[in-house]
Structure 1
Amino acid sequence: MNSPADPLATLPLRDDLRGMSPYGAPQLQVEVALNTNENTHPVPADVVDAIGERVRSVAAQLNRYPDRDFTELRRALANYLGHGLTEQNIWAANGSNEILQQILQAFGGPGRSVLSFVPTYSMYPLLALGTGTEFIAGRREPDFSLGAESAARQVAEHAPAVVFLCSPNNPTGTALDLDVVDAVYEAGEAHSTVVVVDEAYAEFSRSGTPSALTLLEGRPRLVVSRTMSKAFALAGARLGYFAAAAPVADAMRLVRLPYHLSSVTQATALAALEHHESLLATVEEIKTQRDRIVAELAALGLTPATSDSNFVFFACGQDAPTLWQGLLDEGVLVRDVGIPGHLRVTAGTEAETTAFLTAVRACLHRE
């Protein structure tokens, strides 16, 4: 009989998985959920209709496997990104997490390592674990920033097979200067390191913040990962993608599962890309609410980080769990990212932002 304390205890689980907990933010029924960095605006009606039409058009052929190489979708993604990219430079998968997993399956694995600079996206070590890749936790400055010299020195020291650079970084929300990406790539040249810039939140960057897409030319092991979960408001569709030199995309065919992108997923993504202007119309509004959160939290005596994403990371004193619970009691769910004295909140609609700020004031007033 399974132990109540550990229902997996009697299974022949891998030793390195014992004691682990599944990834996931709390899924609680609350009035205002601002803990998972979703785009909280609903999908526009014209896009809903377009997706419905596209999906309906493929429904009669669901007895057949989808286009294994999703060529039309890759071409549409290349057109969306620009920068002279073609479908040969594009790969896609079921969310950017699967993109990163496939990269580690191809270039990581037993006897190899992946380096990232913590605090950063908490899935990176879990993806490393799942692919048998050693995870190396690189160091940031005390203010969570990352400079080119420090990053390059750590890459040279550890000689990883892969580097993950999250920009804008999750959970801090700050974008990397391109000199950091360039320095990391140069430092990894001696060991043919694959450098992945995870730009899941790139569409929310402040004006003038450059994308690593501008660095792709002449760098055959540089990969820029994106997602349709955030700015496109399609978290439920699960579509992530990357741009890189064509051989990197070709390498993914060695590790992807057969027909890994369903016909429905491809149809949904194509409809969204055809209507990307409608979908992205909420981005500026979200950025306005994000900047409002930064300004008003600072006015309340808290310390928010400047953000290039659709969320705000803020210092709230040493008792973050108490504030988290207080906000929850007020009907607002934010994210405790496990960094002492800090919380993270998604920038939602104007009404959701007002509810969050009102709840913060109520909690601070009770102290």
Structure 2
Amino acid sequence: MTGIDIPVPAAGAGTTRIDDLPVREELRGKSPYGAPQLDVPVRLNTNENPYPLPEPLVERIAERVREVARNLNRYPDRDAVELRTALADYLNATGPDSAPELGAAHVWAANGSNEVIQQLLQTFGGPGRTALGFEPSYSMHSLIARGTGTAWVSGPRADDFTLDPETAVRAIAEHRPDVVFVTTPNNPTGNAVPAETVLALYEAAQRAKPSMVIVDEAYVEFSHGTSLLPLLAGRPHLVLSRTMSKAFGAAGLRLGYLAADPAVVDAVQLVRLPYHLSAVTQATALAALEHTDTLLKYVEQLKAERDRLVAELRTIGYEVTESDANFVQFGRFPEPGGARAAWRQILTRGVLVRDNGVPGWLRVSAGTPQENDAFLDAVRDLKKEQEQHG
């Protein structure tokens, strides 16, 4: 066989950048979503549930996975009917009494709430269409919009990071988006959006287009109030997005889901990839749903720790945004550069928090009592240093 001469790359080859590739114009100069995972004693930067899954649940997961492992030569249930039924049962059991009764037809599940959002934007957004969100908020909304070719419009928040209904309604009327995002409790600020405000935005969105309104309830189990599930009745353009990453302590599972009118569930199946949820994922999620009562007890502990963080931070002298989530936004640090400098100083004390890019503010996840003590000691030291050099 005759050899083939393969040209040798010139010196300096292998330094190609993303922008050297023929990527879509709206992706040029952008950075992927990410949070630093540094090797430090206390990591409170990604809103994870700090408590490992209880041993009985771990054993039940092993049992369920062992059962499906015998048939991994076959595709999983493409429509995940058993899982969707169990998720609907969970929503019916934990939602307000005024919420409509849900079944599998009202629920869709995917690989994390990010895939749920992606499928919704693939279905209702796309080239020539626009999504609107009120920032600062969950940055993946705009990133997924960009990835699906959907134009993004940033709507306003008040100085205290709440949504002013009149201002938000004007933004919807002005931009007439195809998709409106409302995040409650909001990430990274932690504050919840009242049901009356969401209802006003939904009605405005229907007058303007009509549009789909996606309510991201990733942290709703930690809220002082209740879910917006009752608003689904009679509102086919409303979608509630949820996750098992936070309250269920299953961030590594990657399971998100939505509740909506059955027509929405039918619509997202037009864009979903075939057999997108593995048999192992479905089995693990079903096992977790069998232990809801135990897992929600951890939620109550985290809510108490969150409230302790709020009170202690204010006592130390920091400003704190009202939080209905499992994290707290605190500040204010002098800008420019104050929040980043504070982040580094806290890190030198072995505690990793999140710099979300909101000028003057940082975010800390509620951890175990011991982790929260370490964080509070770090910010007390930081406050003393600031006062000494102020």
TM-score, normalised to structure 1, is 0.97
Q: Give the letter for the 1:344 counterpart.
A: R
Q: CA deviation at 1:10?
A: 3.6
Q: CA deviation at 1:148?
A: 2.0
Q: CA deviation at 1:147?
A: 2.2
Tell me which residue corresponds to 1:185.
202
Q: Give the letter for the 2:108 counterpart.
A: W
Question: Deviations for 1:216-241, whole angstroms, at most 9, x for unmatched residues?
Answer: 00101100010000000000000000
Q: SS state of the match for residue 232, structure 1? A: coil
Equivalenced residue count is: 364
Q: Give the letter for the 2:137 counterpart.
A: T
Tell me which residue corresponds to 1:327.
346
Q: SS state of the match for residue 235, structure 1? A: coil
Question: Deviations for 1:114-137, whole angstroms, at most 9, x for unmatched residues?
Answer: 000011001111001100000000
Q: CA deviation at 1:3?
A: 6.8
Q: SS state of the match for residue 344, structure 1? A: strand
Query: Which of 219, 224, 244 is residue 240 of structure 2 equivalent to?
Result: 224
Q: CA deviation at 1:280?
A: 1.7
| Residue 317 (1) aligns with residue 367 (2) | no
In structure 2, the gaps of 5 or more residues are 1-11, 93-98
Aligned pair in 2 of structure 1 residues 105, 351: CA closer, same or farther (>3 Å)?
Answer: same
| Residue 46 (1) aligns with residue 46 (2) | no
Aligned pair in 2 of structure 1 residues 9, 117: CA closer, same or farther (>3 Å)?
Answer: closer
Query: Which of 218, 236, 259 is residue 200 of structure 1 equivalent to?
Result: 218
Q: SS state of the match for residue 240, structure 2? A: strand
Q: CA deviation at 1:212?
A: 1.3
Q: CA deviation at 1:9?
A: 4.2
Which range moved further: 16-25 or 301-310? Answer: 16-25
Aligned-residue identity in percent: 57
Determine the C-alpha separation between the residues in 2 that align with 1:10 and 1:317: 38
Determine the C-alpha separation between the residues in 2 that align with 1:24 and 1:197: 23
Q: Give the letter for the 2:186 counterpart.
A: N
Q: Give the letter for the 1:128 counterpart.
A: A
Query: Which of 66, 69, 78 is residue 68 of structure 1 equivalent to?
Result: 78
What CA RMSD, in Å, does the superposition of the two structures yield over aligned residues? 1.1
Q: SS state of the match for residue 18, structure 2? A: coil
Determine the C-alpha separation between the residues in 1 that align with 2:141 and 2:259: 19
Which range moved further: 151-160 or 168-177? Answer: 151-160
Pairing of 1:1-367 with structure 2 (within 5 A) = 2=13, 4=15, 7-82=17-92, 83=99, 84-190=101-207, 191-206=209-224, 209-318=225-334, 319-367=338-386
Determine the C-alpha separation between the residues in 2 that align with 1:51 and 1:148: 44
Determine the C-alpha separation between the residues in 1 that align with 2:263 and 2:278: 23
Determine the C-alpha separation between the residues in 2 that align with 1:170 and 1:350: 22
Q: CA deviation at 1:315?
A: 1.6
Q: Give the letter for the 1:182 counterpart.
A: L
Aligned pair in 2 of structure 1 residues 138, 3: CA closer, same or farther (>3 Å)?
Answer: farther
Provide runs of 4+ in structure 1 moved above 3 Å: 1-4
Q: SS state of the match for residue 28, structure 1? A: coil
TM-score, normalised to structure 2, is 0.91
Question: Deviations for 1:83-133, whole angstroms, at most 9, x for unmatched residues?
Answer: 411110000100000000100000000010000001100111100110000
Q: SS state of the match for residue 224, structure 1? A: strand
Determine the C-alpha separation between the residues in 1 that align with 2:138 and 2:32: 15
Q: SS state of the match for residue 225, structure 1? A: strand
Which range moved further: 225-234 or 145-154? Answer: 145-154
Determine the C-alpha separation between the residues in 2 that align with 1:144 and 1:197: 17
Determine the C-alpha separation between the residues in 1 that align with 2:13 and 2:343: 34
Q: CA deviation at 1:179?
A: 0.9
Q: CA deviation at 1:204?
A: 0.2
Q: SS state of the match for residue 312, structure 1? A: strand
Which range moved further: 315-324 or 60-69? Answer: 315-324
Q: CA deviation at 1:8?
A: 2.6
Contact 2:121 2:145 in 1 (8 A): yes
Determine the C-alpha separation between the residues in 2 that align with 1:26 and 1:245: 38
Q: SS state of the match for residue 36, structure 1? A: coil
Q: SS state of the match for residue 29, structure 2? A: coil
Contact 2:220 2:226 in 1 (8 A): no
Q: SS state of the match for residue 167, structure 2? A: helix
Question: Deviations for 1:39-68, whole angstroms, at most 9, x for unmatched residues?
Answer: 011111111111111111100101110000
Q: Give the letter for the 1:62 counterpart.
A: L
In structure 1, the gaps of 5 or more residues are none
Q: SS state of the match for residue 242, structure 1? A: strand
